[in-house]
Amino acid sequence: MTRRDVPGRAWLRRGLLVLGTVLATPETGQADVADRLKALDLAAYPREERPPEFSGRTVDGQRLSLERLHGRVVLLTFWTTWCVPCRDEMAVLDRLHRDLGPKGLAVVGVGAGEQPAAVSTYAAALGVSYPLIVDPRGEIQAAYGVVGVPTSFLIGRDGRAVARAVGPRDWDGAQSRALIRALLAEPIRSR
Amino acid sequence: MLAISSDSTFALKTYADSLKLPFPLLSDRTLTAIRAYGVLAPDKVRPLRAFFLVDQQGILRKQWLLGLAGDDIVFSSEPILKAIEELTSRPSK
């Protein structure tokens, strides 16, 4: 019998693996998220904070609500057609949507105070593939207290508010992607 | 300085963060304080914009009632700043 075949050693290895898994979640995951929020200069919400519910119509006429996105990590971003940093950020968000959308990320844009025709033209020109909600009367914008664009909110799979970003961020960078992957790894809890 | 709004705490956090406000914003979802100060708009939903100046003894010294947020309000902060200066320059009893 070689060293590798010792039965006790195999059990010990399995035991350590289980212990390591137990220690890695969920506290380690939460610490990981907290560190990444700090690195990205995102304002974290208390664990129990819930974002305002919303329901709106997308530029292609579909109804979309926060409730329907339960179970996905949501990156909700407020923008306008006249905002130059928003334009740059939209290309980045589109890449993120294409890459991580199939893994459970929902990128949703809200055209704050924008008319449907303007949003439609703008989205077509930029080739934006993630859903854009039209908010011509600024109702969703007011519910979230948005007074500057871009302003974005990260929402966990369990529907809790995770963090807020006032101003543009490098959403496609390594830190952001690691943060989103950590949120995607969280269990879905019922509301 | 305190500011009271009928908006949610969630909205006020974003607002304060965006404008880097150095004073607290209070959320009055039940409109209790807004009614108590008599600044609920006729539609019974929205508060009017208003300022109240309270002295060190808790006595209301001055008030400025402006109108609904979003209205075309021409507003100067000068009279308010002047009243605060007058009040703070008085020796407190």
pLDDT digits (tens, 9 = 90+) for A43-69: 999 999 999 999 999 999 999 999 999
Q: Is B33 within the bounds of a domain?
A: no
Tell me the nearest-neighbour CA distance from A85 into chain B, angstroms: 16
Q: What is the structure's pLDDT at B92?
A: 64
Q: Is B19 within the bounds of a domain?
A: no
Q: Is B2 within the bounds of a domain?
A: no
Count of C-beta atoms within a 10 Å radius of residue A114? 24
Q: What is the structure's pLDDT at A15?
A: 53
Question: What is the domain extent for residue B76?
Answer: 45-93
- Is B10's CB within 8 Å of A161's CB? yes
Q: What is the structure's pLDDT at A23?
A: 43
For residues A172 and B3, what is the distance between their CA atoms, to the nearest angstrom? 37
Is any Cβ of chain A less than 8 angstroms from the Cβ of B7? yes
Q: Is B35 within the bounds of a domain?
A: no
Q: What string of DSSP letters covers chain A?
A: --GGG-HHHHHHHHHHHHHHHHHHTTHHHHHHHHHHHHHTTPEEPPTT--PPP-EEEETTS-EEESGGGTTSEEEEEEE-TT-HHHHHHHHHHHHHHHHHGGGTEEEEEEEET--HHHHHHHHHHHT--S-EEEETT-HHHHHTT--SSSEEEEE-TTS-EEEEEES---TTSHHHHHHHHHHHTSPPPP-
Q: Is B21 within the bounds of a domain?
A: no
Per the structure, the count of domains in chain B is 1
- Which domains, ranges and CATH numbers included, belong to chain A? 3-184 (3.40.30.10)
Q: Is the Cα dihedral A64, A111, A51, A72 positive or negative?
A: positive
Interval B21-71: pLDDT, tens: 999 999 999 999 999 999 999 998 889 999 999 999 999 999 999 888 766
Is any Cβ of chain A less than 8 angstroms from the Cβ of B15? yes
Q: Is B10 within the bounds of a domain?
A: no
